[in-house]
Amino acid sequence: MAVLLTGGAGYIGSHTSAELLGAGYNVVIADNFSNSTPETVRWIGQLAGRTPALCKVDLLERDGIDRVFTQYEIDSVIHFAGLKAVGQSVQAPLMYYHNNITGTLNLCEAMKKHNCKRIVFSSSATVYGTGTNVPFREDDPLSATNPYGWTKLMIEQILRDVWESDHEWSVALLRYFNPVGAHNSGLIGEVPRGVPNNLMPYIAQVATGKRPHLNVFGNDYHTPDGTGVRDYMHVLDLASGHIKALEYIKQNCGVEAVNLGTGRGTSVLEMVAAFEAVSGMRIPYVIQPRRPGDISICYADPTKAKVLLGWTAKRGLEEMCADLWNFAKNNL
């Protein structure tokens, strides 16, 4: 039996693949490499001492994903595959709805046909929309402010409806906060295409000299230093959260939404200082206007993850920055 990881060659999927292989799972990766490369899968194999099965498949091709279930005995799925750039989703909403929603529908059809009823889905803290009541809890009101966020909300609903139609399904909706860092080996990490959207990959590119300075989007928020506050967690902690979720859905049917975050908020300038301290590099920055759509403060109440899954994030800011720097100086 194997676990299928859609989007398993991507940033979070590759770290999760390595952790799963290390924990003894058989892993099948299905990816179209729209935002990743097959080389990553080789590194995963090197790290784990065991290579995952790899299928170059686009979830938009129904027959392709169906064939994966025919070829391998899959008993559960972790569904990472999707487009994830918020700004791009505003410019190209149809592409986002088509890729993320149609891809999920095709996956669920194939799962249903092959009697595979366990799925862990990569949702996001973005489903709390413009909420201001931090820390965010799973039963807080949900909303979206851009097409990317809507796809996450819609897929959560689709999976709830699938379960309503058949209570043998077991669904974990993992709402990630801000994953950062890289594998401590330095072999895998995040390699953004073009200008990074997210804070830590941008900082890494300033540190390696690829960009002259960081743009800090707003210093007039109601936060201790005026810059935006987020819940940053190490990508390896996030990966281990998937193993816990997988263990949980193997034992329990139903639908559970679970926050994966540390429960601690950190500002942009605190993150810059943490990275500078660890790397010894200076990160010059320029204060810019607020980025449209950004909220001021976002961090998780991680209680449910602890109680239900037995998961808590273990690594601190220093380790997140050290592992990012270790990866960046060798790879970027």
Catalytically annotated residues: 148
Work out which of 5, 21, 32, 299 binds ligand NAD, going by CB under 6 A. 32
Sign of CA dihedral 171, 149, 238, 51: positive
Residues of this chain that bind ligand UFG (CB under 6 A): 84, 86, 124-126, 177-178, 197-199, 202, 214-217, 228, 230, 268, 291, 294, 298
Residue nearest ligand UFG, Cβ-based: 228
Q: Which option in ligand NAD, ligand UFG, none does residue 32 bind, with CB closer than 5 to 8 A by kind?
A: ligand NAD
Q: Which option in ligand NAD, ligand UFG, none does residue 48 bind, with CB closer than 5 to 8 A by kind?
A: none
31 and 57 Cβ atoms separated by less than 8 Å:
yes
Residue 76 in tokens: 């559960």
Which C-beta is closer to ligand UFG: that of 110 or that of 214? 214
By CB under 6 A, the count of residues binding ligand NAD is 28
CA distance 21 to 17: 6
Which C-beta is closer to ligand NAD: that of 64 or that of 284? 64
Of 10-18, 47-55, 218-226, 249-257, the segment contacting ligand NAD by CB under 6 A is 10-18
CA distance 229 to 264: 9
Helices (H), the chain: 11-22, 38-48, 62-71, 86-91, 93-96, 103-113, 147-165, 199-207, 235-251, 268-279, 303-304, 317-331
Q: Which option in ligand UFG, ligand NAD, none does residue 76 bind, with CB closer than 5 to 8 A by kind?
A: none
DSSP designation for 99? I
58 and 5 Cβ atoms separated by less than 8 Å:
no
**Residues within the interface to ligand NAD (CB under 6 A):** 6-7, 9-13, 31-36, 58-60, 80-84, 99, 103, 122, 124, 176, 178-179
